[in-house]
């Protein structure tokens, strides 16, 4: 069984999201479903739902960030970076986009830039969810640096 949503279901999701009567309530629901699919490792299905959300509302930051995360998790780094950058073009200081981009930079051999982004998010919003998450990634970086120094 293929791990994705058939095209007809994509059209159905896109239709409901485009209908103003349902848009606000369903968009949040579909975002949650897509994030749960991603957490369950069903990346094809999550990508399909995120793309349906974006098709209905091309500037939706939640859909774009979620899509970027799925692309990051599946090793499609260039696509992920351009998706996060799209959010930052609309909202240059979006803390989640900056933190996710920082994580991407850590994963793609740009640790200095990645840590700078994560540090800036943490310093601006230390008690927010994204600030706490950025702090966790920074702690992980420190542990790796300590292990590296110990092994050397």
Cα 24 to the center of its chain, rounded Å = 20
Q: Which ranges of the chain have pLDDT less than 50?
A: 1-3
Long-range contacts of 139-144 (CB under 8 A, 24+ apart): 141/106, 141/111, 141/115
Length of the chain: 152
Long-range contacts of 108-113 (CB under 8 A, 24+ apart): 108/77, 111/141
Rounded Cα distance between 68 and 73, Å, is: 9
pTM for the full predicted model: 0.78
> ∠ CA 72-78-80 to the nearest 5 degrees?
40
Instruction: Give the pLDDT of residue 2.
Output: 42
What is the SS3 string spanning 103-138?
Answer: HHHHHCCCHHHHHHHHHHHHHHCCCCHHHHHHHHHH
Q: Are 117 and 101 in contact (CB under 8 A)?
A: yes
CA atoms within 13 A on the CB side of 114: 20
Instruction: Give the pLDDT of residue 21.
Output: 55
Instruction: Give the pLDDT of residue 142.
Output: 86
């Amino acid at each position: 069984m293929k791990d994705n949503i058939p095209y007809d279901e994509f059209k159905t999701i896109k239709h409901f999201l485009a209908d103003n009567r349902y848009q606000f309530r369903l968009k949040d629901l579909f975002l949650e479903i897509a994030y749960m699919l991603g957490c369950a490792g069903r990346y094809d299905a999550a990508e399909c739902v995120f793309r349906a959300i974006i098709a209905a509302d091309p500037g939706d930051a939640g859909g774009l960030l979620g899509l970027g995360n799925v692309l990051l998790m599946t090793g499609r780094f260039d696509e992920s970076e351009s998706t996060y950058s799209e959010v930052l073009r609309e909202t240059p200081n979006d803390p989640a986009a900056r933190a996710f981009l920082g994580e991407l930079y850590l994963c793609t051999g740009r640790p200095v830039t990645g840590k700078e982004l994560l540090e800036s998010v943490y310093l601006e919003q230390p008690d927010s969810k994204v600030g706490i998450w950025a702090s966790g990634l920074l702690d992980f970086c420190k542990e790796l640096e300590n292990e590296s120094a110990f092994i050397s």
